[in-house]
């Protein structure tokens, strides 16, 4: 009979557990010792080793102790298989969420990697840019720093509600219908770039690939003078404007330093070469 008894320390060591873990399993009714002596020391039967071994296996597979306990109350191959399938579904969902998180991390890394390109500040250039999808949220009034932040948070919260992350940059969109109007900001708003492969929600707009007149600058992504300067240069170089202007914020207030206390942006206006 003594050969069939295992001390709590031996049982714990055999399964790479602590004594405190086995005491906890006793308290929740998951695995109770066969006896407890007058000093409160717990003893187990060697025939409980397979039970604890199975508990450890299911725990390693990510099962909750509560579910493991229930599986032993009505144990059969079918009930165990059902438990395993439920856990597999849970793991599949976690993998899907982790893949989404990985994708957003890659997007954010790529966003910052693009900053390594060197550009002359406030000097226009022509650049090819690929297609993008954006979430657009209009400004409630003419933009300023406060309106920019408040509208951006409306856009971010909308993306959070959809279960996604704004990892690819934001800025101000100015409608081309207002380019020659005194009310330049009518219909303007915040845009947030979203991954192409993931989202097709209300408010999502597509920015087609094409040629853009661009200007890198230190200013806020809504300054009228910057827009007018680039628009004038674009027209003087023989280009026609073909769509809405995007003022993309590359480095926001979290990157301010003693040299720059405004945002670092890239103003982009889609264009085509004017016919002769």
pLDDT over threshold 60, residue 2: no
The answer to whether 247 and 171 are in contact (CB under 8 A) is yes
Confidence of residue 12 (pLDDT cuts 50, 70, 90): very high
* pLDDT for residue 1: 47
CA-based angle 31:35:39, to the nearest 5? 115
Does residue 192 surpass a pLDDT of 70?
A: yes
Summarised one tens digit per residue, pLDDT across range 101-110 is: 999 999 999 9
Cα radius of gyration (the chain): 31
User: What number is the average pLDDT over the span 259-276?
Assistant: 91
Measure the CA–CA gap between 206 and 253, rounded to whole angstroms: 27
pLDDT at 274: 86
Taking the C-alpha atoms of residue 160 and residue 132, their distance in angstroms, rounded to an integer, is 19
- The pLDDT of residue 224: 94
The stretch 22-45 carries a mean pLDDT of 95
Residue 208 in tokens: 């087609």
In degrees rounded to 5, what are phi and psi of residue 86? -60, -40
Quote the pLDDT of residue 275.
Answer: 80
- pLDDT at residue 34, rounded to an integer: 95
d(CA 143, CA 226) in angstroms, rounded, equals 14
Please state, in angstroms and rounded to a whole number, the distance separating the CA atoms of residues 15 and 46. 12
pTM: 0.79
- Express the helix, strand and coil content of the chain in percent, nearest 5 each: 45, 25, 35
Taking the C-alpha atoms of residue 179 and residue 196, their distance in angstroms, rounded to an integer, is 28
pLDDT at 276: 65
pLDDT tens-digit map of 62-73 = 999 999 999 999
Which pLDDT score is estimated for 264? 95
The Cα–Cα gap between 46 and 51 comes to 10
Percentage of the chain with pLDDT > 70? 97
């Amino acid at each position: 009979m003594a050969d069939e008894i295992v001390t709590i320390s031996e049982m714990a060591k055999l399964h790479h557990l602590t004594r405190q873990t086995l005491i906890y399993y006793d308290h929740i009714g998951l695995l109770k010792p066969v006896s407890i002596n007058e000093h409160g020391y717990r003893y187990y039967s060697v025939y409980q080793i397979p039970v604890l071994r199975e508990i450890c296996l299911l725990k390693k597979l990510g099962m909750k102790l509560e579910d493991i306990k229930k599986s032993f109350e009505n144990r059969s191959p079918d009930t165990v298989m059902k438990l395993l399938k439920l856990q597999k579904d849970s793991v599949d969902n976690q993998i899907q969420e982790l893949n989404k998180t990985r994708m957003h991390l890659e997007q954010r890394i790529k966003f910052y990697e693009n900053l390594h390109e060197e550009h002359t500040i406030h000097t226009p250039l022509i650049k090819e840019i690929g297609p993008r999808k954006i979430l657009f949220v209009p400004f409630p009034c003419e933009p300023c720093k406060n309106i920019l932040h408040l509208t951006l948070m409306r856009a971010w919260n909308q993306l959070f509600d959809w279960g996604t992350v704004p990892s690819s940059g934001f800025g101000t969109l100015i409608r081309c219908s207002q380019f020659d109007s005194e009310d330049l900001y009518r219909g303007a708003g915040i845009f947030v770039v979203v991954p192409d492969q993931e989202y097709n929600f209300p408010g999502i707009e597509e920015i087609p690939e094409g040629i853009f007149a661009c200007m890198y600058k230190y200013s806020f992504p809504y300054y009228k003078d910057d827009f007018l300067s680039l628009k004038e240069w674009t027209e003087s170089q023989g280009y026609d404007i073909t769509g809405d202007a995007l003022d993309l914020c590359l480095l926001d207030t979290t990157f301010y330093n003693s040299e720059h206390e405004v945002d670092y942006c890239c103003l982009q206006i889609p264009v085509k070469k004017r016919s002769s």
